[in-house]
């Protein structure tokens, strides 16, 4: 009898354990979907870091957005063979940077941690939700995260719960879920960097930088910095400090960081003092008052690459026998740049020469009076074996990987539809419909849609008016 009771109790405990495990799994999966996607400000950087192979990163960059808009790991790899990653988040408070350091060392053993120092000037303000959401939302639950959040919210522990368990904060977001929320590929092929091809509307004015004001590093941040130094020393990691140029920072703050670096006998790269040497152009090298663009980042990263290779014993990962994730990332960047170049091209002849047929689906739609485009349509008809007269009368067709995949759909013909993932493209004799939205950007001429099959995303939709094919029309311009 006792044995039977014991067996029943044991069986009940096992069932409870299994049920609890399933419930926990479902909770974590639901939380993963419901949490807000922070884009490059957090989600891409954080999830991308966890997707990296263990112990593959030799140089780790930590800090706010000024960090991942300055250090470009792909430049460092392509030109210097350095395996690095930008592990940060926008507006990252200094205390969160310390938690990122702790988190990083669970899976990586970097030789160097380079810390961007913007966050050291301000004490943590827990009322600024975005500053913490950017970094904490996608960081998995752990004892370090729990301790870090507890410490950050030491004066308001109740408020810290929503940052520790994102489900609390985002439980009502199910109504606004999109297909992106269900994506599971977290690889970040930019290695955490964000270097867009954008240029600030006005040249940056750094004159206020030299207006020195009294400044003292907040005591709390000094304590956090001491913890960072200790953590690096305990793990045999070299700590490198750097400060990227941004309007709003002043020379007094630079001097305070320089003094801190001297006190701890740490190297400090001051980009303000290097702007002339690196030929930083205040009109062309920034995307706004705070961040380098692609061109400024390239200059800053080149300097970093030279500095790192001269001062630290780092492996040249370009000479490894097999392709590593940085090689793959370079291929992805080339893919991205090809798409980007296409979306910025205006003239029809140039556009046709840049279309990346491999890995893409291209849809053409000729409508209205296309007088003046006869030579172009004749060439297209010959290339894909189309009936030229029908195309000139107004028709649509699709090409995938350089091969015709649809009939030539003219007025009165049955429409043709193509699907990939969540996206649909429908052709008629008069227009292209992409995800139920008609895309006819010109009344008389040619509309072209370019879809990236590998990335499953729209690259570009452009219209070329037959009367002015040198100036493509996109979106709101039509």
CA distances in angstroms from 143 to 139, 147, 149, 150, 344, listed in the order given: 12, 6, 10, 10, 47
Summarize pLDDT for 40-72 with one digit per residue, the tens: 565 688 889 999 999 999 999 999 999 999 999
Burial 294-311 (b: 16+ CB within 10 A, else e): bbbbebbbbbbbebbbee
Whole-angstrom Cα distance, residue 96 to residue 89? Answer: 9
Edge-first strand order for the sheet with 268-270 is 84-88, 59-63, 112-116, 238-243, 268-270
Phi/psi of residue 457, nearest 5 degrees:
-150, 155
Whole-angstrom Cα distance, residue 399 to residue 397? Answer: 7
Q: What's the confidence (pLDDT) of residue 214?
A: 87
Q: Is the pTM of this model over 0.95?
A: no
| Spatial CA neighbour of 462 closest among 295, 286, 344 | 344
Q: What's the confidence (pLDDT) of residue 34?
A: 42
Q: How far does CA 9 lie from the centroid of its chain?
A: 51
Q: What is the chain's alpha carbon radius of gyration, rounded to the nearest angstrom?
A: 27
Burial 145-175 (b: 16+ CB within 10 A, else e): beebbeebbeeeeeebebbbbbeebbeeeee
Q: What's the confidence (pLDDT) of residue 420?
A: 81
Whole-angstrom Cα distance, residue 141 to residue 149? Answer: 11
Summarize pLDDT for 8-25 with one digit per residue, the tens: 565 556 655 555 445 444
The C-alpha angle 35, 37, 43, rounded to 5 degrees, equals 105
H-assigned helices in 235-292: 251-264
User: Which residues of the chain fall below pLDDT 70?
Assistant: 1-43, 157-158, 165-185, 321-322, 476-478
Rounded to the nearest 10°, the torsion over CA 275, 278, 283, 285 is: -110
Q: Are the C-beta atoms of 121 and 215 separated by less than 8 Å?
A: yes
Topology adopted by domain 35-335 = Rossmann fold (3.40.50)
Q: What's the confidence (pLDDT) of residue 42?
A: 59
Question: Which sequence spans correspond to the domains of the chain?
Answer: 35-335, 348-477
In total, the chain counts a number of residues equal to 478
């Amino acid at each position: 009898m006792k044995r039977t009771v014991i067996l029943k109790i044991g069986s009940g405990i096992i069932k409870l354990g299994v049920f609890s495990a399933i419930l926990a799994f479902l909770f974590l999966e639901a939380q993963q979907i419901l949490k807000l996607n922070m884009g490059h400000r957090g989600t891409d950087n954080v999830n991308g870091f966890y997707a990296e192979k263990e112990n593959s990163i030799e140089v780790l960059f930590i800090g706010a957005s000024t960090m991942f808009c300055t250090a470009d790991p792909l430049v460092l790899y392509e030109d210097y063979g350095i395996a690095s990653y930008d592990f940060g988040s926008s507006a990252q408070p200094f205390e969160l940077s310390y938690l990122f350091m702790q988190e990083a060392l669970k899976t990586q053993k970097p030789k160097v941690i380079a810390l961007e120092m913007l966050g050291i000037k301000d004490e943590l303000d827990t009322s600024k939700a975005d500053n913490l959401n950017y970094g904490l939302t996608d960081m998995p639950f752990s004892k370090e995260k729990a301790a870090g959040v507890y410490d950050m919210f030491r004066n308001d522990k109740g408020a810290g719960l929503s940052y520790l368990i994102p489900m609390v904060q985002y439980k009502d977001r199910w109504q606004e879920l999109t297909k992106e929320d269900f994506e599971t590929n977290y690889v970040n092929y930019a290695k955490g960097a964000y270097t867009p091809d954008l240029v600030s509307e006005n040249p940056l004015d750094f004159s206020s930088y030299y207006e020195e004001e009294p400044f003292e590093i907040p005591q709390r941040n000094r304590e956090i910095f001491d913890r960072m130094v200790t953590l690096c020393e305990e793990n045999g990691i070299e700590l490198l400090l750097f400060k990227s140029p941004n309007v709003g920072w002043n020379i007094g703050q630079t001097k305070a960081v320089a003094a801190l670096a001297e006190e701890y006998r740490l190297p400090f790269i001051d980009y303000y003092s290097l702007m002339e040497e690196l030929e930083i152009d205040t009109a062309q090298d920034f995307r706004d008052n705070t961040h380098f663009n692609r061109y400024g980042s390239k200059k800053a990263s080149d300097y970093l690459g030279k500095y790192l290779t001269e001062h630290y014993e780092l492996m040249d990962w370009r000479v490894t026998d097999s392709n590593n994730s940085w090689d793959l990332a370079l291929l992805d960047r080339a893919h991205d740049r090809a798409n980007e170049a296409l979306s910025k091209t205006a003239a029809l002849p140039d556009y046709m020469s840049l279309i990346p047929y491999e890995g893409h689906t291209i849809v053409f739609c000729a409508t209205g009076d296309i007088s003046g485009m006869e030579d172009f349509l004749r060439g297209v008809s010959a290339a894909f074996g189309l009936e030229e007269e029908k195309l000139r009368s107004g028709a649509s067709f699709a090409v995938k990987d350089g091969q015709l995949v649809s009939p030539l759909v003219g007025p009165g013909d049955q429409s043709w539809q193509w699907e990939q993932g969540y996206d649909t493209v429908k052709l008629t004799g008069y227009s292209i419909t992409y995800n139920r939205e008609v895309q006819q950007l010109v009344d008389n001429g040619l509309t072209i849609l370019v879809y990236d099959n590998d990335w499953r995303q729209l690259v570009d939709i452009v219209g070329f008016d037959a009367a002015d094919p040198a100036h493509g029309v996109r979106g709101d311009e039509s």
